[in-house]
Structure 1
Amino acid sequence: MITVIIIGAGNVATHLYKAFRQAETISIVQWYNRDIRKLAMHQSDVETIDDLSLLKPADVYIIAVSDDAIAKISEKLPFEDRFVVHTSGSVSVYDIDQKNRRGVFYPLQTFSKDVPLPMETVPICLETIGKKDAPLLKKLGESIGCKTYKVNSDQRRTLHLAAVFVNNFTNQLYRVAHEITEAEGVEFDILKPLILETANKVQNISPYLAQTGPAKRNDKKTIKKHLKLLESEQHQAIYKLLTSAIKQTQGVTNKPFKHTNLNT
């Protein structure tokens, strides 16, 4: 049995808690958050605390808080030579206070508290300073049905950067599309099958081969029409930037767009 204490009550912490509770080989000893009211709905299932001095012994302490708070929380832990990990994609393992053994348990996925997610589909990126701690983290990930990957700090930061492109930036493009359709009273839901097919396609072929559209075809007339339809300067700038990037990637040679307002 692996004993775990969770520190933090955000999106990642909440999903890990739910996954750990369902695992037969994991026992959640405590759940800490400085605002214990956020843990109120779980008080009947696990011991909840808001005082770090009350932390009990455990095999691993998982700090699942905002990136800026990881170092401060680790400094305040009232013990030494225990195994402490964080869940961030961009924070160094060395940001954890050196008084304890250190590691990273990074689930590479987008999490929202109220959106169900099958944890077994989430890859877990693992990093430890001490080799003897690596098997424990691997077992922890496998106990919740996840595939685990041993990565170093540079690889993890690279993955996090790539994740921003495929998730955060892509989601912002969904938001732009939602604004465009909403302005004309068109149902955004009509685009959802296209969103799913785009994601499914790169499961089998490379993004390069999956690319379609007017930029790849160098369809200048369509591109010009699209730009005239866009009333927002920000949307125009995004369209121009991505169109130019696609053309460059696909080997379509022409002059880059000038970033000027087409409405003037």
Structure 2
Amino acid sequence: MISVLLVGKGNVAFHLYNAFLKVDEIDVSQINSRKLQNIPNADVTIIAVSDDAIAKVSAQIKNSFVVHTSGGCAIDELQNTTRKGVFYMLQSFSKEKIIDFSEIPFCLEAHNYKDFKVLEKLAIAIGKKVYKVNSEQRKALHVAAVFVNNFSNYLYKIGNDICHKHNLSFDILKPLIKETALKIETLTPEKAQTGPAIRGDQKTIQNHLDLLTKKQQEIYQILTKSIQNGD
């Protein structure tokens, strides 16, 4: 039996708590990060708070093994004086969306082998995909994730704005979005690239620019140039 204390009430903590509850070998409890006066003891204390709060919250915890769940913070940003680790899940979490942990990569880090195996045991109890990732690697992985997730979603927003402006349903684009995502299961992103930029269709590119706002034109031109230059 591994005792786990979750510190935080946000999206990540919400899904982790519910996942751990279903595992007989894990005894999980949860507290709000704003109420740290009485911190229960646990084998593993998982801090699931915003990046900016990790140092302050961890400094108040005396439990023997404290880990955070951030992709953007190094292991040593934890300010507890005891053992440290990272239990990072590379996924976008929302309370309203059911999470299949078997599909989520668990990126783990610890200062010693024994602690890493404890984190690995927790990850395997609710998931399948476990990776040993150090702080520098995780930083690179996190910025890569921003490009493929946050930035791509922002491009969806632009597409939605364009559709709305011209009285079109964004639903028309959804099969294309799904097909693009499916392609990278069998092709590299470079080989999957299509469109007027890679073909050099200057007339089409100009027609597109004529339809766009100034801000949208800037984004379109930067991406078009990068695709054409192979950046």
| TM-score (norm: length of structure 1) | 0.85
CA deviations 1:130-155 (Å, max 9, x no partner) are 22201000000000023110011111
Shift of 1:24: 2.7
For 2:45 and 2:4, the matched residues in 1 are separated by 6
Q: Could you say which residue in structure 1 is the equivalent of 2:65?
A: 83
The alignment status of 1:201 with 2:183, answered yes or no, reads yes
Is the Cα–Cα contact under 8 Å of residues 63 and 84 in structure 1 kept in the other structure? yes
Partner of 1:92 in structure 2? 74
Match of 1:182 in 2: 164
2-side partners of 1:16 and 1:146: how far apart? 15
- Residue 53 of structure 2 corresponds to 69
Correspondent of 1:222 among 197, 204, 207: 204
| More displaced stretch, 99-108 vs 12-21 | 12-21
SS at match of 2:71: coil
Question: Does residue 112 in structure 1 map to residue 94 in structure 2?
Answer: yes
> Which of 215, 227, 231 is matched with 1:246 structurally?
227
**Cα displacement string for residues 14-35 of structure 1 (whole angstroms, at most 9, x for unaligned residues):** 111121112232221x211146
Provide the rounded CA distance (Å) in 1 between the counterparts of 2:175 and 2:53. Answer: 39
Moved over 6 A (4+): none
| Alignment match, 1:39 | none
What do the CA deviations read for 1:59-115 (whole angstroms, capped 9, x no partner)? Answer: 1000000000000001111x25x0000000011110112411000000001111111
State the aligned residue count: 231
Whole-Å separation in 1 of the counterparts to 2:27 and 2:183: 39
RMSD of aligned residue pairs (Cα, Å): 1.3
8 Å CA contact retained: 1:62, 1:84? yes
What residue identity is the alignment partner of 1:237? Answer: E
Identical aligned residues as a percent: 50
Give the C-alpha shift of residue 55 in structure 1: 1.8
Radius of gyration: which is bigger?
1
What amino acid maps onto 2:45 in structure 1? Y
For structure 2, the residue ranges without an aligned partner over 5 or more in a row are: none
Partner amino acid, structure 1, of 2:194: T
What TM-score results when the alignment is normalised by the length of structure 2? 0.96
Cα distance in 2, alignment partners of residues 234 and 24 from structure 1: 53
Whether contact under 8 Å (2:67, 2:85) holds in the other structure is: yes
**Secondary structure, aligned partner of 1:149:** strand
1:179, CA displacement in angstroms? 0.3
Distance 1:195 1:24 in 2: 39
Q: How does 1:9-24 map to 2 (within 5 A)?
A: 9-24=9-24
Partner of 1:32: 31
Q: Which residue identity is paired with 1:5? A: L
Per the alignment, residue 163 of structure 1 pairs with: 145
Confirm or deny that 1:235 pairs with 2:219: no
Deviation at 1:176, TM superposition (A): 0.3
Q: For residue 17 of structure 2, what is the amino acid of its counterpart?
A: Y
What's the counterpart of residue 139 of structure 1?
A: 121
* Aligned residues of 2:74 and 2:136 also touching (Cα < 8 A): no
Alpha-carbon separation, structure 2, partners of 1:18 and 1:176: 35
Q: C-alpha separation between the residues in 1 aligned to 2:37 and 2:117?
A: 28
Letter in 2 for 1:212: T
Q: Which residue of 155, 163, 173 maps to 1:191? A: 173
